[in-house]
Structure formats: C-alpha cells, structure tokens
Amino acid sequence: MARVCDITGSKSQVGGGYSNRVRATKFNPTGKRRRQVNIQKKTLFVPEIGKKITINVSTKGLKTMKKRGAYLTLKKAGLVA
C-alpha cells in the first residue's frame, strides 16, 4: 500500500540528512533519506450518507476535515458521491 493521503494527496519526499558536523565540513556522508507522511487509517461515520467510510488520511487531512466538516471534505476529494 502506498503511503498517500486520500484527502490532501501528500506523499513521501526525499531529502538530505544532515548533522552539525556535516554543516561544518560541507561534506555529506549521510546521503539521502525518505521522509514519510504521517498516514492514519481512520473509519468515519458520515451522517449525511448514513455510512461508515475507511480512509487513509494524513494528520493534516484530519485537521482539514475537522475544520470544513467530514462530508464536504470527502466530497471534494471524490470519495463520497
């Protein structure tokens, strides 16, 4: 299963791993590292349609759903008809 948020569409990113010694010498022995998204598997009851829906959502997506409401956010993402 890919680690992708159903609401925001965010996925992992690749970036450098640095320590203070690396910054001092301008030499990068650490290489690249993958930064994963904080994905949670949540089951939500949506009263507008009277169903439970299971989604993979990032914590930022959960914050968005709390602000806008679950039904409108899921509808905009195309997960609810």
Residue-level pLDDT at 51: 93
Domain positions in the chain: 13-77
Tell me the pLDDT tens digit for each residue of 11-54.
999 987 776 665 666 665 667 788 999 999 999 999 999 999 99
Phi, psi of 8 (to 5 degrees): -90, -20
Structure tokens given for 52? 């439970």
pLDDT at residue number 52: 95
Tell me the pTM. Answer: 0.73
Class of the CATH-defined domain 13-77: mainly beta
Per-residue pLDDT band at 2 (split at 50, 70, 90): confident
Instruction: Report pLDDT for 16.
Output: 75
Beta-sheet strands, E only, within the chain: 13-16, 32-35, 39-46, 51-58
Arithmetic mean of pLDDT, 43-68: 94
Q: HSE-up of 48 (CA within 13 Å, CB side)?
A: 9
Task: Give the pLDDT confidence score for residue 1 in this predicted structure.
Answer: 61
